[in-house]
Chain A
Amino acid sequence: MSENTKKKYMKKSEIITFGIGLFGIALLTGWMPDYTATFFADFAFKGKGFDPDVMSNMISVVFLVAGIVGAVCELVIGYLVDNTRTKFGKVKPWVGFGVIPLALISMFVFVSPDTDNQTVAIIWMFVIYSAYTMICCAVESPANCFGALCSPDPSERSSAISIASFLRSVGQSGGMVVILVVGLVMKAVMGQQQFKNAEGQGLDLVISTGICCLGIILFTMIFFVNNKERVPFTQEKVSLKDAVKVVFTNKNLLMVSLTKLTGFGRGVYGTVSLYIAIYLLGSKDLKLGLLLPMGIGTAVGTLLVNFVLKKFSTKQTFILFSLYGASSLAILFLVSRGIGFNDGLIIPFLILNFFCGLQHGNTNVTPNIMIADCVDEIEYKTGKRQEGLAYAGYGLFSKIASAFTKALGPWLLYTWSGYLVSTDVNVAYAAQTDGTLNKLLMIYTIIPAVFVVLQAVPIFFYDMVGEKKDNIVKALMERRAAETE
């Protein structure tokens, strides 16, 4: 069958509504962690006279515990998804029905109890945020693996995953727009000072969360109504032991998951971006200026990957983008060193930041397509289709990698670079030596570049491409057709 006459499984609208669903979920899940931290720290128990040091330490522990709960839930939910057999499919019920408790629990995270007891306040933070994390996992993880079920045709599902990944990455920043618009409307309705007073009580966060919750319901329902799982699930029940084994023993799946671990240091640039803005570009206000071109680059890169994937395999695309990413970061380093840390660096730095952002499109899209291919391979080998666990395994590795990044970034910044802290109450940021400034630039460019190269290493051992992939897809099609008959 030629490309032009190839059977299409998905309606065009389904590709869009899959993306809309992920956009809605990302709108809320992208909003929650940062703004919950802000809410807990600054607003939830304002004026209660609680010890601020104890509270800030406890908030860190709350997020640490939630991270562990999230990692465990990834596997548990993956296992449960793979054992779900309903007339609507295995993933849709989790998303379509789970989104209601998710929206409600998210809202209640921002409704703190009126208590003067610090212990009660701390327990509430642990309980409510852990509950949110669990329910979030029960919706987000299945939604992410829907791509593997939307079409049996790998090229069709690749396009769907690319577009959905793009909309998801847009959704992750949607909360910033929501709070901006909520602020403008509140100012117009209440007046400037009254808005400031309400903002001081965290009420703009409450309303913005309400809107994000409504957003997730609206967009997820559009997805739930319009989208359909098109890859039939296998009937065998999977034991927990076998399920966990899949994550660590399927070579290709393990290689894709390992990209997260070997590339964990890619994200350390985020730790140092504020200092790059202050010391290299001259103003801390330029931090947003730094992140915006990179964010736009990421969005463009997400679309670009879709085109590259039409010409190259997933393996080639991943390696190509990784090499490009490392090169762009190296060029940014060399240009910065060439121009020097002065006003003349700002424009070239911001432009190059856009080009550095393009590589992130690859890490947003390609691994998701690879995992979908791995699910085919696992089904081909074992007769069991395990989307839930395949994506859960990748999610687990992502969470571990994220913990490593959070540890490495501050160590590089505050220990390795020799960063000097201001001890003068009137001077916010102390002057730094040239050696330290150079190291700050390296943390933003060269060090992530090394990890971008390292993330590509496991992919050299990935072989679910080309003829092997085509044969497996063909065999699965035939097997399913035989089962239908």
Chain B
Amino acid sequence: MSNKEKGFNFKLYGIITFISVAAILAVVCVTTFGAKYMAFHPERLAEFYVDTIVQTGDGYNAYKNTLVSKNMKYGDFIRKNYIDPAVNRDGNDCSDHSFKGEKTLSDDGTLSGKLIAQMYPVYGELLNTYGWDDYDSIFTKYIEKLLTVREEIFGDKFFNDEVFFTAFEANVSAYGKSLTGTDEVYDENSGVKLSDKTTGIYAEKFGEDYKITCETVSFKEGYADGYLMNADTDVLTFYGVDAGTVESVATAVVNVNVNGTKLAECEVSLVKIGMSWYVDNLNTDTEMLYSFYK
């Protein structure tokens, strides 16, 4: 008889232990999730949004916390609205294997690297002309140019999402490095030096040990009624957001401090849908965040 052995009730102990530990684990998980999940904290979300942009000029990834990404994965949003029309152009599916020419099939990364290098000035030009608040122009015009440049380099019409994301994200990353600079990079196994150290624009302007910090200095939460009266419901529908589901709105003013001195501020609009907050990219002007160092 093992269940009730010498006065000890194993079954009761097992049940009490399971329930008690389950309760503790649930509390720890919920508390940790609540504390860390950005979308539950509008002030931190606004700060994070601004910080993402100012640290590396990355307006591209900042959209992952906006209404654009409310209903679908940000990458899928770009695929559906910008990449797919380019893939399915002139009545063809240009992502089909048959569109790959000899150079595409035999490329070991050299030609892809050349494509990335040639597209980088295009990305910089689009950023200066339109800014990330007009993501539509950036994606549309970048892909137009990408199709042309790629065809010149590879000699075929092949195009798919990987071609876009590889080139575009490499350009976003390179732009960030132009601001921050880079350390020397060595292969961790062989010790071979892969790239030299570079000095970025931020270090040139603010000194080698510059520190950029973002701080929410004011936060106001209001009712959704006013927001709904002025909302561009067509765009919200385009994002897959039902305006009626917006429960609350808020505005956070975030200061950008460099080495402790305020150099810019951004008023971030936020909306609450369900339990989560999103940056309202339709009503947030980020232009200043790309020029505070100039």
Closest Cβ of chain B: how far from A186's Cβ, in Å?
A: 10
In the complex, A111→B13 CA distance in Å? 27
A194 to B18, CA, bound (A): 31
Query: Contacts A201-B36, A428-B109 given: A221-B29 contact, CB under 8 Å?
Result: no
- Asked if B28 contacts A191 (CB within 8 A), the reply is no
A148 located at the interface, meaning its Cβ lies under 8 Å from any Cβ of chain B in the complex: no
A218-B32 in contact given A87-B6, A414-B190 (Cβ < 8 Å) = no
CB–CB A88/B8 < 8 A: yes
A-contact 0/1 string along B49-80, CB 8 Å cutoff: 00000000000000011000111111010000
The docked-state distance in angstroms from the alpha carbon of A103 to that of B108 is 48
| Minimum CB distance partner of A87 in chain B | B6
CB proximity of B275 to chain A, nearest CB, Å: 10
Whole-angstrom CA separation of A96 from B14 in the bound complex: 9
Say which residue of B5, B14, B71, B116 sits within 8 Å of A87 (CB atoms): B5
Q: Which of A152-160, A206-214, A250-258 contacts B (4 or more CB under 8 A)?
A: A206-214
Interface of B is mostly: helix
Question: Which residues of B have CB within 8 Å of A202?
Answer: 36
| B62 to A: closest C-beta gap in Å | 12
Asked if B229 is at the interface of the complex by the 8 Å CB criterion, the answer is no
Select B113's contact among A197, A424, A431, beta carbons within 8 Å.
Answer: A424
27 residue pairs bridging A and B, Cβ less than 8 Å apart = A87-B5, A107-B24, A107-B25, A107-B29, A192-B72, A192-B73, A193-B72, A194-B276, A196-B64, A197-B37, A197-B39, A197-B64, A201-B37, A210-B28, A217-B17, A221-B17, A221-B18, A225-B2, A225-B13, A226-B2, A228-B5, A419-B190, A421-B190, A425-B113, A426-B116, A427-B108, A428-B109
* A-B CB pair tally, cutoff 8 Å: 127
Is A203 within 8 A of B37, CB to CB? yes
In the bound complex, do residue A104 and residue B10 qualify as a contact, i.e. CB atoms below 8 Å apart? Answer: no
CA distance A421 to B194 in the complex (A): 10
B130 / chain A contacts, CB cutoff of 8 Å: none
Q: CB-defined interface of B16-36 with A at 8 Å, one 1/0 digit per residue? A: 011001101110110011011
The residue from A194, A419, A427 contacting B110, defined by CB atoms under 8 A apart: A427
Asked whether, in the complex, the Cβ of B14 is within 8 Å of the Cβ of A214, the reply is: no
Contact partner of A427 (CB less than 8 A), chosen from B25, B29, B36, B109, is B109
Whether B187 is near chain A, meaning CB under 8 Å from some CB there, is yes
- Chain A residue nearest to B74 (CB atoms) is A193
Q: Please give me the residue from chain A that is nearest to B211 by CB atom.
A: A49
Interface membership of B38, Cβ < 8 A: yes
Q: Does B195 contact A (CB under 8 A)?
A: yes
Question: Assuming the A-B contacts A213-B21, A225-B2, A227-B2, are A206 and B29 also in contact, with contact meaning beta carbons closer than 8 angstroms in the complex?
Answer: yes
B105 contacts the other chain (CB 8 A): no
Q: Which of A399-413 contact B (CB under 8 A)?
A: 410, 413
| 10 additional A-B residue pairs with CB within 8 Å, beyond A194-B69, A427-B108 | A107-B28, A114-B35, A197-B38, A197-B64, A217-B21, A221-B18, A222-B14, A225-B14, A421-B190, A426-B110
- The verdict on B103 contacting chain A, using a C-beta distance below 8 Å, is no
A190 and B65 CA atoms in complex are apart in Å by 13
Among B6, B64, B195, B276, point to the contact of A425 (Cβ < 8 A). Answer: B195
Q: Which residues of A contact B73 (CB under 8 A)?
A: 192-193, 196
- Does B106 have its Cβ within 8 Å of any Cβ on chain A? no
A197 and B65 form a contact (CB under 8 A): yes
For residue A462, which residues in chain B have a CB less than 8 angstroms away from its CB? none
A228 to B6, CA, bound (A): 13
CB-CB nearest in chain A for B73: A192
Asked if A198 contacts B109 (CB within 8 A), the reply is: no
Is B205 located at the chain interface by the 8 A CB criterion?
no
Which A residue's beta carbon lies closest to that of B278? A194
Asked if A108 CB lies within 8 Å of chain B CBs, one says: yes
Q: What are the residues of chain B within 8 A of A191 when measuring CB–CB?
A: 70-72
- B291 contacts partner chain A, Cβ-Cβ < 8 Å: no
Give A contacts to B, CB under 8 Å: 87-88, 96, 100, 103-104, 107-108, 110-111, 114, 190-194, 196-198, 201-203, 206-207, 210, 213-214, 217-218, 221-222, 224-228, 410, 413-414, 419, 421, 423-428, 431
Chain A nearest CB from B179 CB (Å) reads 16
Tell me the bound Cα distance from A425 to B185 in angstroms. Answer: 10
Could you mark each residue 114-133 of chain B with 1 if its beta carbon is under 8 Å from any beta carbon of chain A, else 0? 00100000000000000000
Q: Is B145 an interface residue (CB 8 A)?
A: no
How distant is B47 from chain A, measured CB to nearest CB, in Å?
11
Chain B residues lying within 8 Å of A207, measured Cβ to Cβ, are 29, 33
Q: Does B11 contact A (CB under 8 A)?
A: yes
Chain A contacts for B35, CB-based, 8 A:
114
The residue in chain A whose Cβ has the minimal distance to the Cβ of B11 is A225
Q: Given the complex, which residues of A lie within 8 Å of B11, measured CB to CB?
A: 225
Query: Does the CB pair A424–B2 fall under 8 Å?
Result: no
Q: How far is the CA of A426 from the CA of B74 in the complex (A)?
A: 25
B88 at the interface (CB under 8 A from A): no
Asked whether A414 lies within 8 Å of B189 as measured between CB atoms, the reply is: yes
- Given the known interface contacts A192-B76, A196-B73, A431-B108, the answer about A224 and B10 at a Cβ–Cβ threshold of 8 Å is yes
The 6 A-B residue pairs with the shortest CB-CB distance in the complex, in nearest-first order: A426-B113, A221-B14, A193-B69, A192-B73, A427-B109, A210-B29
Inter-subunit contact B18/A203 (CB<8 Å): no
* A217 vs B14: C-alpha distance when bound (angstroms): 9
Given A192-B73, A410-B189, A421-B192: A214 touches B25 (CB 8 Å cut-off): yes
Instruction: For B112, list chain A residues within 8 Å (CB).
Output: 426
B residues near A419, Cβ cutoff 8 Å: 189-190
Q: Which residues of A contact B28 (CB under 8 A)?
A: 107-108, 111, 210
- Measured between C-beta atoms, what is the minimum distance from B93 to chain A in Å? 23
Please tell me if the beta carbons of A213 and B25 are within 8 angstroms of each other in the complex: yes
Asked whether A198 lies within 8 Å of B17 as measured between CB atoms, the reply is: no
Chain B residues within 8 Å of A410, by CB: 189
Q: Does B3 contact A (CB under 8 A)?
A: yes
Contact B18 A217 (CB under 8 A): yes
Across-interface contacts of A194 in B (CB, < 8 A) = 39, 69, 276
Give the distance to chain B from A185, nearest Cβ to Cβ, in Å.
13
Assembled-state Cα–Cα distance A170/B50 (Å): 46
Return chain B residues, CB-CB under 8 Å to A221: 13-15, 17-18
Rounded to whole angstroms, the CA-CA distance of A192 and B38 in the bound complex is 15
A92, chain B: closest CB distance, angstroms:
9
- Complex Cα distance, B3 from A428, in Å, reads 59
